[in-house]
Copies of this chain bind each other. A is one copy, B any other.
Amino acid sequence: MNTKDRALQQLKEKGYKKTKQRERIIEIFAAYDQYVPAKKILKEMQEEFPSVSFDTVYRNLYLLSEEKVLEATELEGEKHFRLSCGTNHHHHHFICTDCGKTKLIEFCPMEGLKEDLRGYEVENHKFEIYGKCPQCG
């Protein structure tokens, strides 16, 4: 089963409907192995559905993020999304500031910080590395 079908199946189980728009959004992401800004998805959607609304695109991006089909991050003030990495365990990314491609970072800095943060209730954390990948550097 491919990424798209798996995602749609997952949505169906939660009672969400299968729509052309949703299918297309997932297809678009499947063509990228990187974070893509919401507005770029909107643009590509408009090529296929000239009258698609912002609302549809944004709503689905957030839905797909909640369902863990996508991962989200904020880069330069814009929300970006990408297909969840195949890996099932927690991870981070190096993000190329030129081409946008990412490299998986398996190491999580939270591991060694339990001691330091005694008394603090950790809810979340963000660790991202930015720079040029070997192709762009």
Chain A residues with CB under 8 Å of chain B are: 74, 77, 79, 94, 97, 103, 105, 107, 109-110, 112-113, 116-117, 119-134, 137
Contacts and interface: CB of A to CB of B under 8 A. Distances in A.
A79 B109 CA distance: 24
Contacts of A77: 74, 77, 79
Report how many copies the assembly holds: 2
A34 B94 CA distance: 28
If over half of A's interface residues share one DSSP class (helix, strand or loop), that class is named, otherwise mixed; here it is: strand
Given A124-B130, A127-B127, 15 more contacts: A74-B74, A74-B77, A77-B77, A77-B79, A103-B117, A109-B127, A110-B129, A119-B137, A120-B131, A120-B132, A121-B132, A122-B130, A124-B131, A125-B128, A126-B130
Nearest to A94: B120
